[in-house]
Amino acid sequence: MRRVGLVSLCLFLVAVGCGEDQMQAGPDDPPSATSAVDPVENGGAAPEGSEFVPGPLGAVEVAPGEEIQIRSVNSITGDVASLGTPNQRGVELALDDYGPVAGRAVSMGTPLDDLCSPDGGQAAAQTVVADPAVVGVIGTTCSAAAVAAAPLISNAGMVMIAPSNTSPALTSDLAGTQGSAYQPGYYRTSHNDLFQGRAVALFVRNHLGFERAAAIHDGDPYTQGLTEAFRAAFEELGGEITTFTAVNKGDTDMIAVLTEVAAGGPQALFFPIFMPEGGFIVQQVGGVAGLEDATLIVSAALLVDNFMELSESEGVYISGPDLRFGSNRNSITGRTAEGLLAEYVASYGEEPSGGYWGHAYDATVMLLSAIDRVAVEVEGTLYIDRMALRNEMDRSSLDGIIGPISCDEYGDCGSQRITVLYNTDPRNIEIGKNNVVFDFAP
């Protein structure tokens, strides 16, 4: 009896599944002079008189008069808001600049928060995938959130373009091996931390001439991936990692971990973690015997105002993406880097508090232009084939605010240029943000 019930339930679910497919866009849809035979192959460009056929991931149907839906999932509350808020604003500015896509307005909906954590990323992704009208997501801010969000978004057939995820696990090891957290449909305009790890190692070993360094992460995929990349590169360059350890997120007392680090007598300490733990480390390191003269290096997670303004962050090196955008211009919207920054300040009344606003802008333009190319209109209804969109993203090539953008097989699309900044004056952090002391290009 129970088996019969289960079979009936399965049949019912299959029937409902088919029904949904047909509702999105099915082979029964009326033929149209402007529709594509197979959007997966043809990227939306169809011979005349042929019939629209959705690809294996289905298609989003935008009824006449409706908006195209995308979503922003970034860290917009808490200490990491300094990093995530400029990302969200980058999305907003790109939407304004780009204008309508395939004749339709684009809506970002209510901004979602990834909380810079796996549970936050998962909760936001669940909200996103609950709405089948969503085409793609710009986010997340943090790799930890992306690891949890990407599987849900990928399974829903959507695309996800991250402006500031950098963990190698999310894409690849750059040698053709897929990262452990890679999901189809995942792209990013930010760099891969294997490059950043190598850049910091070169900086410490060759530029500063140090032989001994220590590294601290916080168990997060981003911080762990970056410190491991640093360790591998530093040891390859003949350096010695004296201590490789971790703090807990939420720790305030760093004396114990710093004492553990001091025991190895490192000349440099690399701790690419977030606020507030990163702040606690710089505040307490001066009180630990053996580390008074150690050179401190952090990453772009701390390229944020509330860290750089701490008086103890004077003299700290900050590695991160090359933000010297110079005369870069987004080839699709025509917006220059300088113009975008001016627009940002004019719209929000402040300088960006984190470094990835340009990455978010380019990510959004990249998504919108790909939608523009694959969208097919049939009798007033717009169809956006999900598989075709992924294929189009794979083929994307544009000049962005951040430099040339084109994606590799595993979604690494950004410019991989890395710089190291030197924070000289916590009371005027704009000086530090532009004070490049080392740069790296793969």
Q: What is the nearest approach in angstroms of another protein to the Cβ of residue 51?
A: 53
Is residue 314 within the footprint of another protein (CB under 8 A)?
no
Is residue 283 within the footprint of another protein (CB under 8 A)?
yes
| Alpha-carbon gap, residue 434 to 23, rounded angstroms | 52
Is residue 109 within the footprint of another protein (CB under 8 A)?
no
Options 26, 109, 184, 290; binder of another protein; rule CB under 8 A: 290
- The DSSP line for 8-48 is HHHHHHHHHHHHHHHHHH-TTSPP-TT--S-HHHHTT---T
What is the amino acid identity at position 209? G
Options 1, 63, 175, 289; binder of another protein; rule CB under 8 A: 289
State which residue, 152 or 275, has the beta carbon closest to another protein.
Answer: 275
94: phi then psi, degrees, rounded to nearest 5: -65, -40
Could you tell me which of 338, 368, 354 has the C-alpha nearest to residue 429? 354
Options 9, 255, 437, 441; binder of another protein; rule CB under 8 A: 255
Which of the stretches 46-54, 123-131, 255-263, 408-416 binds another protein when contact is defined by CB under 8 A?
Answer: 255-263
State which residue, 353 or 369, has the beta carbon closest to another protein.
Answer: 353
Is residue 425 within the footprint of another protein (CB under 8 A)?
no
Q: What is the nearest approach in angstroms of another protein to the Cβ of residue 110?
A: 19
Interaction residues for another protein, span 45-64 (CB under 8 A): none
| Alpha-carbon gap, residue 227 to 246, rounded angstroms | 10
Site mask for another protein (CB under 8 A), range 67-86, x = bound: ----------xxx-x-----
Could you tell me which of 371, 347, 368 has the C-alpha nearest to residue 357? 347
Is residue 259 within the footprint of another protein (CB under 8 A)?
yes
Is residue 406 within the footprint of another protein (CB under 8 A)?
no
Is residue 178 within the footprint of another protein (CB under 8 A)?
no
Number of residues that bind another protein (CB under 8 A): 34
State which residue, 151 or 290, has the beta carbon closest to another protein.
Answer: 290
On the 0-12 / 13-18 / 19+ scale of CB atoms within 10 A, 30 is exposed
Could you tell me which of 142, 164, 439, 432 has the C-alpha nearest to residue 308? 432
Residue at token pair 């530093």:
234
Is residue 301 within the footprint of another protein (CB under 8 A)?
no
Report the SS3 class of residue 256. helix
Report the SS3 class of residue 187. strand
Site mask for another protein (CB under 8 A), range 342-381, x = bound: ----------------------------------------
Which residues lie closer than 8 Å to 428 by C-beta, 6 or more apart? none
| Alpha-carbon gap, residue 432 to 430, rounded angstroms | 5
Is residue 310 within the footprint of another protein (CB under 8 A)?
yes
Options 36, 59, 124, 262; binder of another protein; rule CB under 8 A: 262
State which residue, 44 or 84, has the beta carbon closest to another protein.
Answer: 84
Could you tell me which of 322, 301, 321, 296 has the C-alpha nearest to residue 423? 296
On the 0-12 / 13-18 / 19+ scale of CB atoms within 10 A, 163 is buried
Interaction residues for another protein, span 188-247 (CB under 8 A): 244-247
Could you tell me which of 239, 237, 183 has the C-alpha nearest to residue 210? 239
Binding-site ranges for another protein (CB under 8 A): 77-79, 81, 244-248, 250, 252-253, 255-257, 259-260, 262-263, 275-276, 279-280, 283-284, 286-290, 306, 310-312
